[in-house]
Copies of this chain bind each other. A is one copy, B any other.
Amino acid sequence: MPSGKKQPKNPLQSPQNEVITEFTSSLPFDRELYFWDIVGSLAHVDALAEAGIVTQKEQKSLKSGLKSVLKSIQEGEAELLLELEDIHMNVESLLSEEIGALAGKLHTGRSRNDQGALDLRLYVRERVLETLEELMEFQKVLIRIAKKNLGTIMPGMTHLQPAQPVSLAHHLMAYWFKMKRDFDRLVGCYERLNFCPLGSGALSGSSYGIDRFELAKSLNFRGPTDNSMDSVSDRDFAVESVFCLSLIMEHLSSLAEEIILWNSPQFGFIHLSPDFTTGSSMMPQKRNPDIAELTRGKVGRVAGDLVSLLTVFKGLPLTYNRDLQEDKEPVFDAFDTAVDSLWAMRNLLSTAKFDSIRMEEACKSSNLHATDLADYLVGMGMPFREAYSLVKKMIEDSSGSGSSIDEWTIKDFQKYSTLFKDDVKGYLELKNVMNRREVYGGTSEKSVGESISLVDALAKEESSVIRKIRDDVEKPVLQLLR
């Protein structure tokens, strides 16, 4: 017996067919596509009319029927039936309830193979837009915090060891640039997917003289796809979009890890808003960074979704194979996960408070000026490797004797090398150390300030890309549902 969730619905069917219906039906998940399925059908009807396959009167009737079906699904009145296998057949069946036999003409010159490919592309277009918007909102929060924290010093870490002082602004802006790549990568994916497969038929192309260029245009696609056999077998856009999301999740997982660390009493760099932490059922003193932990965990979901898709598509011969039905859930899940995680982490960050005192304290007594001590010597003419060895010795002596280098006098320094001059003490002050990284992309207040200006310009470009894609997604809807 299959898993308990199965319940017969149609008394005329044999029990076996029941379960088979459940096993094969894609309705439980592809119902999410109903809106785009109907929008696609509206465009198809126009193309059929254009080609003279349906009359103007039929066109009108088909379109108003489709709109009624849309309304009845949106309002929860339409009953979608598992037995009808998928969302396409359900819509057609509802349409024939509305307008009778004429509904039969809707599927002319079209197959579920090109129709299904279309629906998923329309869906992904919309979700890409949503993700880009979320990325941009996140970047805004990062800039906002960065602008206030150009001079807030914290230990920059390598190997989870304090290494060199950096500003909180610089640290957070690292994520800004990671998200910029996420943004661009997703736009690249969008550009590759923004073609219309409709008219490819089952696999060899429609024979009804449909103008695929016009059809593509009516849905704001850049054009029709170029080869019908490719069109009905291609799911590159599904895998690629999930891959883009998996990298977004990787970036969020790093940020989440940092927030979990910073939120531990051992670090104490951050205070999360109570809205974004939870307590323990047993230990009332706890304030757990659950949002960050869940986000870190959810990278696994999207990696899993990606592997699912890569596994499904392996070794499939052309063209459509039913295996491809397994393309949808991973895509839906990955978008849900990434969009929600971006939203949650953005708000977590936006409502958090940073503890600049704890951060600065963590810089001290960690010899974060060690590199600079070597650089100082190099500046005075010593080869780097020699300077490096000397500084290593100084640090060992310092921790051996328990006297912090910060407290050394100039004489203490000169015991090691006469290259040390009076200015060495000021040279080693944390703020000076930080601000000496004036190179492009460095952590100095000046560099980060410049970086933020640059980023303001890049943000404008992002906005205009989003506007363009929003047009692609929304305009056909306005036009076709008019």
Contact = CB atoms under 8 A, between A and B. Distances in A.
A206 B299 contact: no
Contacts of A234: 178, 181
A444 interface: yes
A107 to B, nearest CB: 5
A11 to B, nearest CB: 17
Given A240-B185, A310-B303, A294 B261 contact: no
With a 10 A CB-CB cut-off, give which of A2, A158, A257, A278 has the most chain B CB atoms.
A158
Contact of A310 (B282, B311, B318, B451): B311
Interface string A285-328: 11111110110111111011111111111111111111111100
A289 B243 contact: no
A370 interface: yes
A285 B395 CA distance: 6
Interface string A374-411: 11001000011110110110010000000000000000
A260 interface: yes
Contacts of A308: 300-301, 303-304
Given A177-B226, A264-B161, A291-B23, A282 B343 contact: no
B311 A163 contact: no
Given A304-B308, A315-B315, A344-B23, A210 B439 contact: yes
Contacts of A299: 310-312, 314-315
A113 interface: yes
A16 interface: yes
Chain A contact residues: helix, strand, loop or mixed = helix
A321 B160 contact: yes
Contacts of A391: 284
Q: What is the copy number of this chain in the assembly?
A: 4
Nearest to A269: B266
B3 A335 contact: yes
A371 interface: yes
A111 interface: yes
Interface string A220-257: 00001111111111101001100100110010011011
Interface stretch (A68-76, A195-203, A417-425, A469-477): A195-203
Interface string A4-47: 01000000001011011011100000000000000000000000
A433 to B, nearest CB: 8
Contacts of A429: none
Nearest to A344: B23
B156 A204 contact: yes
A401 to B, nearest CB: 15
Contacts of A161: 263-265, 286-288
Interface in A256-286: 256-258, 260-261, 263-267, 275-276, 278-286
Contacts of A335: 3
A66 interface: no
A73 to B, nearest CB: 15
A175 B366 CA distance: 32
A318 B158 CA distance: 7
Interface string A330-372: 1000011001110110010000000000000010001110111
Given A234-B178, A275-B16, A370-B283, A290 B24 contact: yes
A324 to B, nearest CB: 7
28 contacts: A1-B343, A22-B340, A104-B383, A105-B383, A111-B281, A157-B318, A158-B280, A160-B289, A162-B265, A174-B229, A174-B319, A181-B234, A206-B442, A207-B375, A228-B439, A228-B441, A233-B254, A246-B310, A254-B318, A261-B317, A285-B370, A297-B323, A298-B326, A299-B315, A301-B326, A301-B329, A307-B307, A314-B314
Given A157-B318, A164-B201, A204-B443, 18 more contacts: A16-B347, A23-B341, A161-B265, A162-B265, A163-B319, A170-B228, A185-B192, A207-B372, A226-B454, A233-B254, A240-B247, A261-B261, A266-B267, A282-B371, A285-B366, A293-B321, A299-B311, A314-B314
Return the 4 tightest CB-CB contacts between A and B, nearest first: A205-B442, A304-B308, A297-B323, A104-B383
